Amino acid sequence: MLLTDIERAHIRRTWRLVEQAALLETATKIFYDDLFATHPEYRDQFPKDLSGQITKLAKTLDFAVKSLDWDSGDWQGGAVERNSDLFYILTAMGRRHQRLYRVTNDQYGPVGASLLTALDLGLGQAFTPEVKTAWTKLYGLIAQTMQLGAVMRTPEDRAKAIQGATS
Ligand code: HEM
């Protein structure tokens, strides 16, 4: 399920559109409105004041677009080099999501769906079926890597486990 060159180009082009047309504020609003309308039970996990969220959504999408430059082999777990920054950033982000924000694996689907809704309504006609497929694949890869991070043990976890076993 890796992205083709054409799919990468679709994502880069539509992300530029979002940035240039100052669509981010609208897209952020659509994203949260849709997420909390379809899943009101998620509301309490997020801060009361959502005004800082535009930056977070922008960071997330920007990050997703940057990840396109990652070597495709890197997405395939075992082949990851120790210096693959993106892999460590994503797995750490997945761990924060699980441990700090209490995010469960089943929440990645609805969040992805609301993100696609926001891109669809924000981009209008530019959101063709091909563009949708490309963003869906990219979100899937990022979500999978974050979920992997949530179950990976950190060096600190291992140290604690050893301490626990010997004390
Ligand atoms: C591909 C999937 C996702 C990406 C790229 C992403 C990205 C981010 C980023 C960049 C932050 C800022 C803080 C940080 O880096 O730790 C954040 C915070 C947060 N995310 Fe996610 N997220 C994703 C999925 C989810 C899911 C599935 C949920 C579940 C409802 C979620 C809920 C939250 C919450 C509650 C926060 C902290 C509150 C806040 O300050 O907004 N995220 N996310």
Domain ranges of the chain: 5-166
d(CA 21, CA 83) in angstroms, rounded, equals: 36
Q: Where does the pLDDT of residue 149 fall: very low under 50, low under 70, confident under 90, or very high at 90 and above?
A: very high
Q: Does position 69 have pLDDT exceeding 90, yes or no?
A: no
DSSP structure string for 86-103: HHHHHHHHHHHHHHTS--
Under a CB-based contact definition with an 8 Å cutoff, are residues 158 and 138 in contact?
Answer: no
Can you tell me the distance from the alpha carbon of 55 to that of 72, in angstroms, rounded to the nearest whole number? 27
CB-based contact 68:16 (threshold 8 Å)? no
Q: Which CATH number fits domain 5-166: 1.25.40.390, 1.10.490.10, 3.40.50.620, 3.40.30.10?
A: 1.10.490.10
Which amino acid is residue 147, in one-letter code?
Q
Give CA separation, 104 vs 6, 74, 109, 141, in Å.
Answer: 32, 24, 10, 16
Q: Residue 138: in which H helix or E strand, if any?
A: helix 129-151
Question: Ligand 1: does its nearest atom lie under 6 Å from the Cβ of 47?
Answer: yes
Identify the pLDDT of residue 97.
95
Instruction: Report which of residues 67 and 30 the model is more confident about.
Output: 30
Instruction: Give residue 56's pLDDT.
Output: 81
Rounded to whole angstroms, the Cα distance separating 59 from 98 reads: 19
Type of residue found at 85: D
Query: 39 CB under 6 A from ligand 1?
Result: no
The pLDDT assigned to 55 comes to 79
Mutate to test the pocket of ligand 1, among 55, 91, 101 (most ligand atoms within 8 A of CB): 101
Q: Is the pLDDT of residue 166 over 80?
A: no
